[in-house]
Structure 1
Amino acid sequence: MPRPAEQDAGSDSSLSRGLALLDLFTSADQVLSISEMARRSGVPKSTTHRLVGDLIAWGALQRSSTGVSLGVHLFELGSLVPSSSTLRDLALPFAHNLNEVTKLTSNIAIREGNEVLYIEKITTRTLKVPHSRVGGRARMHATALGKAILAFSDHDFVDSVLIGTLQPQTEKTITEPAELRKELARVRAERVAYDVEESRLGLFCVSAPVFNGPGGPVAGAISVTGATELAIAKRYSPAVLATAMALTSALGTVKRPRQRSAS
């Protein structure tokens, strides 16, 4: 019989391997075979098969006709994350209204590390080019949502993003720090950010920051996405900005727990 310490070490190894398997799934690879998961992760096939069985039993994965995919239980847990649930719940009707008014796909995103995380998306049939997905991530400097958030983030965080390599997502992505700083200054002045084929060719995005109430810190951003050019995209900026301002006001009315005074 292994000692308790050895059992704990094995459990920790199994947990990290199981999480690594979940991390293999992307928007491009939503269904994977066990053999492919073993190959990509470097985990032995027999171990991968056992871990996948455990993850299916827990609800993190589910079987399909061609392999396995992420399970509903992960979505259920994700909806409970405090940093996004309040914003998403309040923003949903605003996003639907923005979708109806503009006839474009509307998105809501928050900052997650050095990326933006999409927490809601209201699609439109007119947008034929594949784009964001709920739970998907994107480079902050290459998206209008990211630039809207970045422009109103603290200086240390902005510097940490700019000091790294600004990877191009298309040939139109801003990759020069000085140029991006200039763009962020414009966003702060106008409170509207644009992405014209910077994240994906053929698409534009217009975004505005959302704050935790008037005068509060940036909480996320809301946007619309379509397939056109900047001159046309700018027509949608008043609707996006007005929606972001209304959502900011709504967040300001949310009652937050009182902090206890020091005794």
Structure 2
Amino acid sequence: MPDRDFDRTTVLGKVMTVLHAYSIDDSVLSLAELTRRTQIPKGTLHRVLTDMVEVRLLDRTGAGYRLGGHLFELGMRASVERSLLEVSIPFLEELNVRIHETVHLGILDGTDVVYLTKIGGHRQASAPSRIGGRMPLHCTAIGKVLLANADSSLREKILSAPLPRYTPHTMILPGPILAQLDRIAAEGVAFEYEESAAGIVCVAAPIRDGDRVVAAISVTGPSHRFRPEAHAASVRAAAEGIGVTLARRSRLLTEPRS
């Protein structure tokens, strides 16, 4: 089922319902599966899918329908995320070369982390994160950074609801989580020790554009070889470098030309 509810009586609602029927693990979905997930009548859905193929929001294949290339083009026009990616990539690549572990860039979206990019290699850790995928805030290093710097209403919303436990190490009690978030806000760095997946550890730091935290970066590795606390200074420095570059770019774009 789609992860959001849309008004299926409107054309836009039907289109959005179809798009959100795809999960991060889906490449192609059949008409039957899309009918099941969207709960749109098959005849109506077929017409919607035909129109979406026509404008390249979907591609038709022998096995069904896949998300179209036009979605990628539109996504890359999103100015905030595009600017953030352009500025961050050199810093992330440098971190990856220096530390030889998986590097992430993530932003806050609702109550989740959305990963904008992930740079790994031959030694890449088997982490559950994926580009364009989502992970919860309470059990990921990037998520903790973003939650530690979010407004109090988001903290209350997340911590007042039951929190899923992904491993025996996942923290789910509000009190200890709040204490950890306060430390993260003060120290500017967060750690994860096998809280989102067994065998995975991580260190993350916030990216600030002025006084506002707009994203976070992390380095992730397997617990048997990676010591995240040893790389906290490097991750924090890279995040600060991205923030300084973002601020400089913003000034250049807004300053009047003589």
TM-score under structure 2 length normalisation? 0.87
Q: Alignment partner for residue 104 of structure 1, among 98, 101, 104?
A: 101
1:182 lines up with 2:182 in the alignment: no
Residue 93 (1) aligns with residue 90 (2): yes
Pick closer, same or farther for the CA change 1:172–1:31 going to 2, 3 Å.
farther
What CA RMSD, in Å, does the superposition of the two structures yield over aligned residues? 2.3
**Taking structure 1 as reference, are residues 64 and 174 closer, same or farther at Cα in structure 2, changes over 3 Å only?**
farther
Aligned to 1:204: 201
Give 1:258 deviation, angstroms: 5.3
1:243 to 226, 238, 247: 238
Q: Distance in 1 between matches of 2:244 and 2:75?
A: 25
Shift of 1:128: 5.1
**Unpaired stretches in structure 1, ≥5 consecutive residues:** 1-9
Residue 221 of structure 1 pairs with residue 216 of structure 2: yes
Residue 210 of structure 1 aligns to which amino acid in structure 2? Answer: I
In structure 2, relative to structure 1, the CA distance for the partners of 1:157 and 1:69 (3 Å cut) is: same
Q: 1:171/1:54 Cα in 2 relative to 1: closer, same or farther (>3 Å)?
A: farther
Identity of aligned residues (%): 33
- The corresponding residue for 2:123 is 126
Amino acid corresponding to residue 76 of structure 2 in structure 1 = S
Is contact 1:143-1:199 (8 Å) kept?
Answer: yes
Superposed, 1:32-51 pairs within 5 Å as 32-51=29-48
TM-score by length of 1: 0.86
How much does 1:172 deviate? Answer: 2.3
Structure 1 residue 195 corresponds to structure 2 residue 225: no
Q: Provide structure 2 residue ranges, at least 5 long, that are not aligned to the other structure.
A: 1-6
Once the two structures are TM-superposed, the CA of residue 62 in structure 1 deviates from its matched residue by 1.6
Displacement of 1:11 in angstroms is: 9.6
Distance 2:199 2:243 in 1: 30
2:23 to 20, 23, 26: 26
Residue equivalent to 2:51: 54
The answer to whether 1:160 aligns with 2:160 is no
**How many residues are treated as equivalent by the alignment?**
248
CA distance in 1, matches of 2:222, 2:143: 19
